[in-house]
Amino acid sequence: MRTLKYALLGLLNEESMTGYDLAKQFDHALLEFWHAKHSQIYPELKKLHDEGFVSYTVEISGNVLEKKVYCITDSGRDELVRWLSLDEDMGFTHKDVFRLRVFFSSNLDIDSRIEMFERQLLRHEKRLKHLQGNNEKFGGVVPDRDTHLFGDFLVLKSAMMREEMLIDWLKYCIAMCSESDAGTL
C-alpha cells in the first residue's frame, strides 16, 4: 500500500525538511495514527527521489555537516492528491493486542482481570488529558478549512473521542466484572 510514501509526501507538501525532521514529525502531530523510524524513512526518501516525487538540496550546518533538505515535486503533489482522492475500502482489521487479551481473559481470575482493566483505564485517562492539553493550542476555535491545521484538528478530535470511548468501555468492563449478580443488559 506504500502508506509511508504518502505520509512523507503529505508532510513535505506542508514544508520542505530533512529526513531527521520528518522522523520528528511522526512523534508529534501524527503520533496518534501513524509512525515511522528514521531507519524506514531514509530508504523511502531515496525511493521517492528515484521515482521523481521529491528533490533535495544539500545544505551545510556549521562547517562540515551536510543535510539533505527534501522538497516535494509537482509530480509528487499530483501523486499525493491522487492518493487522497481514492475510494479505498480499508475495511481491514485494526489489530489490537489489548482487546485480544480481553477476548481470552476468562483464563484469569476475576481480581486479575479487574486489575488489568484498572491499569489500562489509568493509561487512557492520562492519554486523554495529554490530548486535551494539545487541543488547547486551538484556543476553542475551529481552524480555517483550507489550512493544514484543519486536518490536524479533526484528527486530534478523533483521538480524544477514541480515548473517551475506551475509558467508557473499560469502566463498563470493570462494572461487569465487579457485579455480584450477572444481571441483564
**77-116 positions binding DNA, by CB under 7 A:** 92, 95
Cell representation of residue 185: 443488559
Contact between 63 and DNA per CB under 7 A: yes
Name the residue with cell 509528487: 76
**CA 16 centroid distance within chain:** 21
139: alpha, beta or left? (left if phi > 0; alpha if psi -120 to 50): left
74 binds, among its own copies, DNA, none (CB under 5 to 8 A by kind): none
Q: Does 2 bind DNA (CB under 7 A)?
A: yes
Q: Does 185 bind its own copies (CB under 8 A)?
A: yes
105 part of the interface to its own copies, by CB under 8 A = yes
Phi and psi dihedrals of 178, rounded to 5? -85, -30
Identity (one letter) of the amino acid at 108? L
- List the one residue from 50, 66, 87, 109 that touches DNA (CB under 7 A): 66
Query: Quick one: what does residue 28 bind among its own copies, DNA, none, with the CB cut-off 5 to 8 Å set by partner type?
Result: none
Residue 101 sits in the site that holds its own copies (CB under 8 A): yes
> Which of 111, 112, 128 minimizes the C-alpha distance to 167?
128
- Binding-site ranges for DNA (CB under 7 A): 1-4, 18-21, 24, 35-40, 42-43, 45-46, 60-68, 92, 95
